[in-house]
Amino acid sequence: MTASPDRASPAATDKRQRILDAALKVFASRGVHGTPVPPIAREAGISVGSLYRYFDSKEALVNTLFRETKQLLAEQLLGNLPIQQPSRALFNEIWNRLCTFARKQPNAFRFLEMQDHHSYLDDASLASERQLLMPLRQLIELAQQAGVLGSHLRPEVAMALFWGAFVGLFKAERLAYLKLTDDDLQCACDACWTVLQSQPPCEQQGD
């Protein structure tokens, strides 16, 4: 449970945001597991005791951070997106928005997508994740029904392939295995589209 100091004052609001910003930076760099609270307090420029006035525990802090960062991703990814009109152009738009988020919000992207959070996420955080994934699943289902995407993959599998490929590219770049160019990202987008759209050879041979 998150503690509740007087949040009405601008100073309290600013300090809370400083804590969240510091936690995002530290967790993105060092991971959540094994990272204690004191480095976060130091990064925020406050005492550990002051941090606990805003968040009862590290788990409360990381869940609040997860929900707010996931909401930021949802707004940037899904805002004004015509999900009811699936097309190749819409697929490209989603890919490009993800690229923009990963480039402009690197700590947020690393925190959300390059760590395994599920051992400590609470029900509210899990719900926030579902709220992001449900529209994407709906989009895939509509695209398959309209013949825009192939129906050879279940929507869950198609979404996992798409998301996994995207995250894998940026993870490889972070580990210095490669340096992604705009052309690389567009070619990867094209490859994902081909996989999701095309009937696999094994199905074609069975017809």
- The whole-angstrom separation of Cα 5 and Cα 68 is 19
**Based on the domain organization, do 49 and 72 belong to the same domain?**
no
**Based on the domain organization, do 109 and 43 belong to the same domain?**
no
Q: Is 177 inside a domain boundary?
A: yes
Q: Is 207 inside a domain boundary?
A: no
pLDDT tier, 13 (very low <50, low <70, confident <90, very high otherwise): confident
**Based on the domain organization, do 47 and 32 belong to the same domain?**
yes
* pLDDT for residue 9 is more than 70: no
Q: Which of 14, 31, 56 is the last residue of a domain?
A: 56
For residue 117, give every residue at least 6 positions away whose Cβ sits within 8 Å of its Cβ, in sequence order, or none: 32, 62, 66, 125
pLDDT tier, 200 (very low <50, low <70, confident <90, very high otherwise): low
Average pLDDT rounded to a whole number, residues 145-149 = 94
**Based on the domain organization, do 33 and 95 belong to the same domain?**
no
Q: Is 204 inside a domain boundary?
A: no
pLDDT tier, 7 (very low <50, low <70, confident <90, very high otherwise): very low
Looking at the 3D structure of the chain, how many domains does it have? 2
**Based on the domain organization, do 133 and 101 belong to the same domain?**
yes
* pLDDT for residue 130 is more than 70: yes
Q: Which of 159, 158, 150 is nearest to 198 (CA)?
A: 150
Average pLDDT rounded to a whole number, residues 97-120 = 93
**Based on the domain organization, do 115 and 35 belong to the same domain?**
no
* pLDDT for residue 4 is more than 50: no
Exposure string for 114-149, b = 16+ CB within 10 A, e = fewer: eeebeeebeeebeebbeebeeebeebbbbbbeeebb
**Based on the domain organization, do 154 and 103 belong to the same domain?**
yes
Q: What CATH code is carried by the domain that includes residue 140?
A: 1.10.357.10
* pLDDT for residue 129 is more than 70: yes
**Based on the domain organization, do 72 and 22 belong to the same domain?**
no
First-to-last C-alpha distance (Å) of the chain:
56
**Based on the domain organization, do 49 and 71 belong to the same domain?**
no
> How high does pLDDT run on average in the chain?
91
* pLDDT for 5: 47
Neighbour tally for 64: CB within 10 Å: 20
**Based on the domain organization, do 133 and 172 belong to the same domain?**
yes
Q: Is 17 inside a domain boundary?
A: yes
* pLDDT for residue 183 is more than 50: yes
Average pLDDT rounded to a whole number, residues 72-96 = 94
pLDDT tier, 128 (very low <50, low <70, confident <90, very high otherwise): very high
- pLDDT per position as a tens digit, 19-36: 999 999 999 999 999 899
Axis-axis angle for helices 58-78, 88-104 (nearest 10): 140
* pLDDT for residue 118 is more than 80: yes
Q: Is 206 inside a domain boundary?
A: no
Q: What CATH code is carried by the domain that includes residue 47?
A: 1.10.10.60
* pLDDT for 134: 92
**Based on the domain organization, do 72 and 105 belong to the same domain?**
yes
* pLDDT for residue 1 is more than 90: no
Range of the domain at 26: 1-56
* pLDDT for 6: 45
